């Protein structure tokens, strides 16, 4: 029985949990926490940004540590007023044209959840990048990070996979590691032999407030990267978070 599920925490906080249908996304946070209000645009887009949340498909993996990329993408989709996703054999995806930054120039945002399992994420992303002619540096990947405490977020670029097989799959299939990563802390297990079981476990009751907060922050992280640049995002979000 999942007594300490994040979904239960959302109910206690008076918020609406995520719906489990991948064609309709609901952010797992209070609506007031999502700060972005971009405008739709009919003007031709200046550039296309592909934002990918990593995780494992299937209800048995919902709310697990390895799926924080999916959870963050839900929050981003909700903030950008994206409700309906398309899907093919490899991924769930949606595209929206937004006036996201100051000024009149719109950006096309493509949101993606791979339908492959984590270790084959690049197999789903590579054909989408090729079809849409998206540059590698315009790819933003959101994923879990065991080397950061719960509640921490780090923005990096052109960094090694450091053992994350989903990130490694993207680098191998998409032409290298020169893409932006938003690393969401999930902490590390005490027993290093139990990493697989740990990343597939759910957050504890004491961790729920921190993970909800960092998920709510993800739309702002993305907007800062797209509008203000990588260095501005790193200055704003790459701060140390003290562990209790």
Please report, in range form, the residues annotated as the binding site for tRNA: 61, 117, 119
170 closest CA partner among 7, 54, 45, 11: 54
Yes or no: say if 211 and 151 are a contact pair by the CB < 8 Å rule. yes
- Rounded distance, CA 61 to CA 133, Å? 31
Q: Parallel, antiparallel, or unpaired: how do β-strands 86-87 and 107-114 relate?
A: unpaired
> Is 143 among the catalytic positions?
no
Q: How many helices (H) and strands (E) does the chain have?
A: 7, 8
- Which parts are annotated binding residues? 61, 117, 119
- Rounded distance, CA 56 to CA 71, Å? 11
- Counting every residue written for the chain, the total comes to 244
User: Which long-range contacts (C-beta less than 8 Å, at least 24 apart) are formed by 236-243?
Assistant: 237/153, 237/154, 237/155, 238/154, 238/155, 240/152, 241/148, 241/149, 241/151, 241/152, 241/185, 242/149, 243/149, 243/187
Q: What are phi and psi of 99, to 5 degrees?
A: -85, 85
Residue 103: which residues within 8 A CB-CB, separation 6 or more? none
> Would you tell me how many other CB atoms lie within 10 Å of the CB of residue 92?
21
Q: Which are the catalytic amino acids?
A: 66
């Amino acid at each position: 029985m999942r007594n300490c599920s994040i979904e239960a925490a959302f109910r206690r906080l008076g918020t609406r949990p995520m719906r489990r249908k991948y064609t309709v996304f609901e952010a797992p946070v209070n609506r007031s926490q999502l700060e972005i209000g971009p405008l739709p645009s009919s003007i031709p887009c200046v550039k296309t940004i592909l934002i990918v949340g990593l995780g494992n498909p299937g209800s048995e993996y919902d709310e697990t540590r390895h799926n924080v990329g999916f959870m963050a993408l839900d929050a981003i989709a909700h903030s950008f007023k994206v409700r309906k996703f398309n899907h093919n054999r490899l991924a769930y995806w949606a595209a929206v044209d937004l006036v996201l930054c100051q000024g009149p120039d719109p950006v096309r945002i493509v949101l993606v959840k791979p339908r492959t399992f984590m270790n084959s994420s690049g197999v789903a992303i590579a054909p989408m990048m090729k079809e849409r002619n998206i540059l590698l540096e315009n790819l933003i990947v959101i994923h879990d990070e065991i080397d950061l405490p719960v509640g921490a977020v780090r923005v990096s670029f052109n960094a090694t996979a450091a053992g994350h097989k989903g990130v490694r799959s993207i680098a191998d299939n998409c032409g290298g590691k020169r893409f932006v990563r938003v690393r969401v802390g999930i902490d590390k297990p005490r027993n290093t032999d139990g990493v697989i079981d740990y990343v597939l476990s759910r957050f504890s009751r004491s961790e729920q407030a921190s993970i909800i907060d960092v998920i709510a922050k993800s739309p702002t992280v993305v907007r800062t990267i797209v509008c203000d640049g990588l260095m501005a995002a790193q200055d704003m979000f790459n701060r140390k978070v003290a562990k209790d």
